[in-house]
């Protein structure tokens, strides 16, 4: 608008101070100034529209920032946790055989640990074990214990201890000790013999010296391989030396 006013003033000055200018020149200049004034007016209108748009954007941004500042933070994302229990195979029926007692109890304990909701009470745990018993074991529990409400049927721990007393006649340590004195490599690989020997040694409770003394069931050619070596102070070294002998007995 100011520039348009200045253009009009310039036109008036030209008219005042150019008395000798002919009418044709004056009309030309006047037309040019009118055109310039129109353009300036149009530009001023555009600038006004731009200024209004900028103000609108500024107001919108301020409103958005205010809404973000007052909005509570989103809850942390977390994957849904499934409450479904792990599906385990049912423990094999326990018939009362001595060697099956401890594996049966371990299988039952796995079910109790992996599905605590299903076995929340001691009665549920005992009932689960009883339902997986057969033969003389089932006869013992139903006639001698369960039917008369014996104390051993009140908790799973008492029931497990009673099963071990009645049906597990051989202690693991005694059984492992007997097996250590008889174990032989035979036609097996060295690694298979060493694995079984270490398992039995762990169950036997023997000290290192006694365990090394029982490490004699290897094949003859493996013994010949170990003979020149120094006597070790622990079981780990002779086991490792045996495994380094790659040849298997015929």
Domain ranges of the chain: 2-58, 98-167, 172-244
Q: What is the pTM of this model?
A: 0.45
Q: What is the CATH number of domain 172-244?
A: 1.10.1200
Q: Is 234 helix (H, G, I), strand (E, B) or coil?
A: coil
Query: What is the reported pLDDT for 93?
Result: 93
pLDDT 10s digits, 197-222: 888 888 778 888 778 777 777 777 77
Query: What is the reported pLDDT for 181?
Result: 83
Query: What is the reported pLDDT for 191?
Result: 84
**Ranges of the chain whose pLDDT falls below 70:** 1-26, 30, 68-69, 71-85, 170-171, 223-250
In angstroms, what CA-CA distances link 217 with 47, 94, 113, 198, 211?
102, 33, 39, 13, 12
Residue with tokens 């036609």: 187
The length of the chain in residues reads: 250
d(CA 196, CA 2): 104
Chain centroid, CA 143 distance in Å:
47
Q: Is 133 helix (H, G, I), strand (E, B) or coil?
A: strand
Query: What is the reported pLDDT for 249?
Result: 45
Q: Compute, in degrees rounded to 10, the torsion defined by CA atoms 138, 104, 131, 118.
A: 160
């Amino acid at each position: 608008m100011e520039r348009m006013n200045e253009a009009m003033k310039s036109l008036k000055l030209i008219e005042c101070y150019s008395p000798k200018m002919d009418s044709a020149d004056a009309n030309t200049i006047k037309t040019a100034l009118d055109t310039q004034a129109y353009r300036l007016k149009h530009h001023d209108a555009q600038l006004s529209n731009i200024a209004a748009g900028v103000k609108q954007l500024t107001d919108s941004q301020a409103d958005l920032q205010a809404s973000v500042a007052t909005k509570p933070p989103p809850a942390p994302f977390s994957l849904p946790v499934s409450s479904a229990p792990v599906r385990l195979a049912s423990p094999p029926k326990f018939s009362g055989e001595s060697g099956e007692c401890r594996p049966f109890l371990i299988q039952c304990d796995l079910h109790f640990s992996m599905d605590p909701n299903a076995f929340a009470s001691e009665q549920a745990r005992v009932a689960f074990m009883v339902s997986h018993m057969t033969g003389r074991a089932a006869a013992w529990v139903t006639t001698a214990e369960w039917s008369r409400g014996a104390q051993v049927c009140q908790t799973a721990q008492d029931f497990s201890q009673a099963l071990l007393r009645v049906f597990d006649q051989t202690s693991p340590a005694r059984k492992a000790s007997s097996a250590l004195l008889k174990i032989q490599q035979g036609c097996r690989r060295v690694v298979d013999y060493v694995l079984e020997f270490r398992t039995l040694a762990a169950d036997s409770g023997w000290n290192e010296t006694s365990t090394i003394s029982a490490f004699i069931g290897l094949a003859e050619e493996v013994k010949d391989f170990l003979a020149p070596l120094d006597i070790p102070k622990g079981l780990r070294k002779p086991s490792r030396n045996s495994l380094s002998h790659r040849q298997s007995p015929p």
